[in-house]
Amino acid sequence: EAQVTQNPRYLITVTGKKLTVTCSQNMNHEYMSWYRQDPGLGLRQIYYSMNVEVTDKGDVPEGYKVSRKEKRNFPLILESPSPNQTSLYFCASSLNSGTTYEQYFGPGTRLTVT
Amino acid sequence: TQLLEQSPQFLSIQEGENLTVYCNSSSVFSSLQWYRQEPGEGPVLLVTVVTGGEVKKLKRLTFQFGDARKDSSLHITAAQPGDTGLYLCAGARGGTYKYIFGTGTRLKVLA
C-alpha cells in the first residue's frame, strides 16, 4: 500500500531533550516536506526536500533540522525542543506532475513539550 | 508575508443544502490545491487547479481558480454528512515546492 508513515504518532517530552520524528514514504517520491499545524494558523511549511541531500527552508524553520540521506526517509530533528514547538506535525511526499506537486500526507505526530 | 484567507471559518448546514467556500490572496500562485482533512488524519488532496479561470468538477464538488490566479472557490452541491471535515486550500509559489496553506474552513453537515 502506497503510504507515508510517521513515528511516533504521539510524543510528550521536556524542554531541551533532543528528539527525532521519522518520516518514510514507499512511493519513490523525490519531494518531501514537513509541516506543523496549529489552531488558527493552519499548516505552515517547516522544511522541504527536492531530492537526496537537497533541502531548503520553509516558512518556519527556526528550531528544526532535517536531513535527506535516502530518498524514502526525511526525519525532523528538534535539537532543543521548547514549549512553543508543541504542535501537530505532518510529513508529506510529492509526485511532481510537471507544474504541480501532488502531496500525500502522513497521519501526523502530536508533540507536546512541557 | 503571503497569506491565504479562507471564508467562512466555520459552516454548519443541513443535508441537501449547497455551499461555497472561498480562498483569497493578494498574491499570484502558480497552482492551487484543495484538501480535506478528517480528525486524526492528514490532509487528502481533492484537486489541483493550474490555469486562471479553470473549473474542475469532482462529483458534487466544483472548484474554480480565479482568472488572476489569486483566488479560488469550492462549491458543494447537495451536501451530505460525509462531506463533513476541514477544507484547506494551498497555493504553490512560483512553481516551487513551497506551499502556503489557508487557515481552513470547518464544515459540518447535519443529517
Q: Which residues of B touch A107 (CB under 8 A)?
A: 40-42
Query: What pLDDT sits at residue B1?
Result: 55
A89 — contact with chain B (CB < 8 Å)?
A: no
Each residue's pLDDT, cut to its tens digit, for chain B (111 residues) gives: 567 999 999 999 999 999 999 999 999 998 899 999 998 899 999 999 999 999 999 999 999 999 999 999 999 999 999 999 999 999 988 767 888 999 899 999 999
Q: Which residues are paired to B19 by β-bridges? A: B76
What confidence tens digit (pLDDT) does each residue in A30-81 have? 999 999 999 888 899 999 999 999 999 999 999 999 999 999 999 999 999 9
- B90, closest residue in chain A (CA to CA): A43
Rounded alpha-carbon distances, angstroms, from residue B23 to A5, A75, B20, B98, B103:
29, 31, 10, 18, 10
Q: What are phi and psi of A8, to 5 degrees?
A: -80, 170
Residue B72's nearest CA partner among B96, B43, B94, B101 is B101
Chain A residues whose beta carbon lies within 8 Å of the beta carbon of residue B99: 33, 45, 101, 103
Residue A1 makes CB contacts below 8 A (sequence gap 6+) with none
Find chain B residues with C-beta within 8 A of A4's C-beta. 42
The type of residue at A97 is S
Question: Taking CA atoms, what residue in A is nearest to B39?
Answer: A107
Closest CA to A86 of A53, A103, A63: A63
Question: How big is chain B by its Cα radius of gyration, in Å?
Answer: 13
Q: Beta-carbon neighbour count of residue B9 at 10 Å? A: 11
- Is the distance from CB of B101 to CB of A43 less than 8 angstroms? yes
**pLDDT attached to residue A108:** 97
